[in-house]
Amino acid sequence: MTSGGPGLGDRLALVADQVAGAASAAGRDPSTITTIVVTKFHPAALVRELHGLGVRDVGENRHQEAQAKSAELADLEGLRWHFVGQLQSKKARQARRYAHAVHSLDRESVVRAIADDADGLVVDGFVQVALDDDPGRGGVPVPDVERLVELVLASPGLRLRGVMAVAPLGEPARAAFARLRAVSDRVRALDPGADAISAGMSQDHADAVAEGATHLRIGTAVTGPRPPAP
């Protein structure tokens, strides 16, 4: 720490307090909520520091960066890498080597590319749902969710965990997360075990917890400002 302001450990503790507060306000057990610290653009050294503070779930949104960091940090015990960014089909298969979970299954081509279980691994998968009409933000349109879910369920190399979304711009996050929760209900009708909801970032994690999120993807609130993209 150089500035004398709050350090990494302080921010981590503050976010944990906020999550616990939002959980208890919603009548939920905080231990059912996993906070993934999104470390994109930050050096591997920051991930090492987070691991030393007890963090076991980290998120990345670019394949090359995730691959390099996970290789560099292979000695860290129990660390799980979550891929949260848009994935190209070409890279999807390679992501199996380091990813514990992929949160961005939003197209048939990506699911097919990542589904091959010749490596004997099973990767956790979240179907990313579009909560608005902006294709740049990724996600399968709500009416097409069942079809993609069925494809994931038929893929031996994937274990469907549930749904994921990024809150759209220009509307209150809570209303959007309520729609995601309704989609989650439909997914659970197809597979009762696929009950996870990956939603909530630095600015809206309390709203996500209020609407049932089980996996929060929190970057800057824990890490501080991101360096420019490498």
Ligand X SMILES: *Cc1c(COP(=O)(O)O)cnc(C)c1O
Residue number, 118 or 179, with CB nearest to ligand X: 179
Beta strands in the chain (DSSP E): 34-38, 57-60, 80-83, 99-105, 123-130, 140-141, 158-164, 196-198, 215-218
In the complex, minimum distance from the CB of residue 154 to ligand X, in angstroms, rounded to a whole number: 26
In the complex, minimum distance from the CB of residue 90 to ligand X, in angstroms, rounded to a whole number: 20
Residue number, 125 or 219, with CB nearest to ligand X: 219
Residue number, 34 or 61, with CB nearest to ligand X: 61
CA 219, CA 230: separation in Å to the nearest integer?
A: 16
Interface positions with ligand X (CB under 6 A):
38, 40, 61, 84-85, 166, 201-202, 217-221
In the complex, minimum distance from the CB of residue 125 to ligand X, in angstroms, rounded to a whole number: 15
In the complex, minimum distance from the CB of residue 36 to ligand X, in angstroms, rounded to a whole number: 8
Residue number, 181 or 190, with CB nearest to ligand X: 181
In the complex, minimum distance from the CB of residue 208 to ligand X, in angstroms, rounded to a whole number: 11
CA 190, CA 183: separation in Å to the nearest integer?
A: 11
96: helix, coil or strand?
Answer: coil
Q: Residue 85 CA to chain centroid, in angstroms?
A: 9
Is there a contact between 110 and 92 (Cβ–Cβ < 8 Å)? yes
Residue number, 64 or 119, with CB nearest to ligand X: 64
Is there a contact between 210 and 25 (Cβ–Cβ < 8 Å)? yes
On the CB side of 138, CA atoms within 13 Å amount to 19
Q: Which residue is nearest to ligand X (CB)?
A: 219
At residue 19, φ and ψ (nearest 5 deg) are -65, -45
CA 39, CA 158: separation in Å to the nearest integer?
A: 24
Residue number, 120 or 136, with CB nearest to ligand X: 136
In the complex, minimum distance from the CB of residue 38 to ligand X, in angstroms, rounded to a whole number: 4
